[in-house]
Amino acid sequence: MRTIKNLAYIRAGGVRLCVRDRGSGAAVVLLHGTTANLGVWDAVVERLGDGLRTIAVDQRGHGRSDKPAAGYGAADYCSDVLALVRALDCGPVVVAGHSLGARNAIVLGALHPEVVAGVVAVDYTPFVEPEVLGDLETRVRGGDRLFASEADIEDYLRARYPLMPVDAVRRRVTYGYVEDGAGFRALADPAAMVHTVRGLRTDFAEETRRITVPVTLLRGEHSKIVSASAYAATKALRPDFRAVELPGLDHYVPEESPGAVADEIARILKKE
């Protein structure tokens, strides 16, 4: 497996999580999306700097963290993050999550406001349509394949993520794939990814209704995950949330516009 610098492994409840813990001060926990890993936050972390404590996490089933055979619902993911915050004694934290991570951040904030100071939920909300999640499961299954070389992985990722900068694509290759005999495979566990997408079908509108900590919603203008109608329904459910639509972007906002995400995290922190 490729060596990545400055990673640590923390026992969080029933799983061992891989994290990159950087800086000092108020803590921000960073949760990636389905099939991704902690490396997607690198450019955001650089913009936030070392005056904050940033804790980027490989969530269960992903990256270099444990990959149990079961346990990929919201409660499982949130239990891991709760245990991590307690293990690191860093709460209350701002939780910034992308896609799957956004769902997990909102549910954690609703269930455990004592450890969550605020949430930045990037391009995932309630009311995502079933057909969107069906398409996502198809794409997730398509990523479970052997690649002949890292160049082949880059070609695949550029086709899949057309607006993603070249350096972000390369980070996905570096963090997310491992050489496996005749080629390279994703570190994200294939069965775990399917279970994760199926878990996203469970509605979390009630948790969104109940959450009391400050929440910012970010949506890429051209997102194929959060439709305009799903975004509008979420804003109608919680008109008090700060809601920002970012022009010219699609679903992968933290990698396409890391500065915008860092600015919104800083904004939440200033309100603490």
Query: What's the CATH number where 123 sits?
Result: 3.40.50.1820
Rg (CA), the chain: 17
If one counts the domains in the chain, the total is 1
Domain assignment of residue 137, yes or no: no
The residue behind tokens 């500065």 is 259
Q: What is the pLDDT of residue 5?
A: 83
Residue 118 lies in a domain: yes
Phi first, then psi: give them for residue 28, nearest 5 degrees: -125, 125
Q: What is the pLDDT of residue 128?
A: 98
Three-state secondary structure string covering 179-204: EECCEEEECCCHHHHHHHHHHCCCCC
Q: Is 123 a catalytic residue?
A: yes
pLDDT under 70: residue ranges of the chain? 1-3, 272
Q: Of these residues, 32, 62, 195, 251, which one is catalytic?
A: 251
Residue 58 lies in a domain: yes
Residue 208 lies in a domain: yes
Indicate which residue of 123, 195, 223, 257 is catalytic: 123
220 occurs within a structural domain = yes
Residue 265 lies in a domain: yes
The answer to whether position 262 is within a domain reads yes
Virtual torsion, Cα 130, 38, 186, 151, nearest 10 deg: 110
**Residue corresponding to tokens 């086709």:** 159
The answer to whether the beta carbons of residues 94 and 26 sit under 8 Å apart is: yes
What is the domain extent for residue 21?
A: 8-128+203-270
Q: State yes or no: is 229 an active-site residue.
A: no
Q: What pTM did the predictor assign?
A: 0.97
Active-site residue, 58 included: no
Distance between CA 25 and CA 76 in Å, rounded? 28
Q: How far apart are CA 61 and CA 37, in angstroms?
A: 10
Q: Are 58 and 64 spatial neighbours (Cβ–Cβ below 8 Å)?
A: yes
168-192 per-position pLDDT tens digit: 999 999 999 999 888 999 999 999 9
Residue 158 lies in a domain: no
Which residue of the set 79, 99, 223, 257 is catalytic? Answer: 99
